A and B are shown apart, each in its own frame.
Chain A
């Protein structure tokens, strides 16, 4: 038997293909660059869309209000550090970035910055050392008006200078090359002021300005792609930030906040707790504490109205269908759990009896504080238990109107297994879910 030789195949020429790929990439980049150059930034938004609201209390300056609405403090203040002195670490897969000092200190802060330099940093992401990394949400702040950015600068300069240098970033090559961000910006960033959208009134636009320009909500609540840019088609569908869930906040009734009432959303933003729904924890608790609790009634209304209009999207970080009247809690009262032999004898149930029921109660109503209300909370309805484990391990606190609400951390006293057991008990009892938290999951979330 003879075997025929196969027909000679065309030889693969790697260099030639690399050449083609380079041409295509260069052409693509050229198109993006051209787009970036011709995309108009649009006019600066003016009052009542930009600026401070008409119902601004006399006790607060315009600059302070806008600084709070833009939540500069959240990132530019390190845990336990002085306000706006920077140094808060942002741990990314490529290394750690530290926020900068934006106090009036001339050496370390913005004391010597010109107006133009400050506006350029905030809206274009180009600072004193060159390109900023998009941990700074210039991608959102580019929507702000120059007047509002300068009001913020004026306020920051009115505060005490803090002579404290920010730690150096620990990014490895090539990410430590700031000029590289030029390519990222070309691909993912268009400097653009808050656009006017046909068919919407001034209140809606004000809400959009609060959410998309100042509040930069989407920086956490919109999922990101591999290049760390927000996925434009998934606005507000939810993401994970610093190990915490930034949930889907679109109008979807099951995955988002479509089933929340206006009052619930308003209360959540104003106080950090929505009656019958969630309490803010982790980074969102900081947002409420530093920013949204200060929003005026007219701005809260505008923001709620805008969030309501966000198109419903499924998925993202939905966190599971919220059961607002779960069986376990319904069958219980303030003092005793309902009959469920399997549940009450479990180790999770015993831990709950000892350390949790004192505040949360078996019916989940919350004992000393409404913030301890568990029924209807997204954290106890998410079968992955990600947010729940985060709260159990690290605790959370929230100061609203000078009153501190806190959940103690159990990370130091509970083992991984114990955290998983109590989490799974809570998911079943208060969310009617089968919790799937394992000791391994807890271990990963510990650091």
Chain B
């Protein structure tokens, strides 16, 4: 069973979304020991004793909270479907790089697709969150 199935259907953590089911869109991104993973392609049995963090925990995470606040300030979401995945990837990026460049953002977040094309606002919000955290 994919981790995403377990999260959504078994324990009702529905903040993580199902997009493509093939690890190509990023909507289902969660953290595995802090690194972003696509939960739709991650067998739940492979998790072992590693820690899974989902969008539900971001409001109590220092970086996650800053990202969410920046997301609201910049009014990033349109339809919002991909945004929990975007926020998970952005949080993981800010954890490894406090002041990312545009290129860093592109490299780390290109795997998260947004059909409303909120990419510019995402960039602005990541920079804003980085500033707030400094």
Contacts and interface: CB of A to CB of B under 8 A. Distances in A.
A333 interface: yes
Interface stretch (A249-257, A318-326, A353-361): A353-361
B110 A359 contact: no
B111 interface: yes
Given A344-B103, A353-B110, A358-B24, A335 B96 contact: yes
Given A335-B92, A336-B96, A359-B23, A368 B107 contact: no
Contact of B110 (A345, A350, A361, A368): A350
Interface string A15-51: 0000000000000000000000000000000000000
A328 interface: no
Best-surrounded residue of A353, A368, A369 (most CB of chain B within 10 A):
A368
Interface string B54-83: 000000000000000000000000000000
Nearest to A367: B37
Place the interface of chain B in its size category.
20 to 34
Contact of B111 (A336, A337, A354, A369): A354
Nearest to B111: A358
Contacts of B26: 358
B108 A335 contact: yes
A197 to B, nearest CB: 42
Best-surrounded residue of A334, A344, A357 (most CB of chain B within 10 A):
A334
Contacts of B42: 367-369
A408 interface: yes
B41 A368 contact: yes
B5 to A, nearest CB: 13
Given A336-B97, A369-B43, 20 more contacts: A334-B92, A335-B35, A335-B97, A335-B108, A336-B107, A345-B103, A350-B110, A353-B111, A354-B111, A355-B111, A357-B107, A357-B111, A358-B23, A358-B26, A359-B41, A362-B107, A367-B35, A368-B39, A368-B43, A408-B22
12 contacts: A335-B96, A336-B96, A344-B107, A353-B107, A355-B24, A358-B26, A359-B38, A362-B107, A367-B35, A367-B37, A368-B43, A369-B41
Interface of A: 333-337, 344-345, 349-350, 353-355, 357-359, 361-362, 367-369, 403, 408
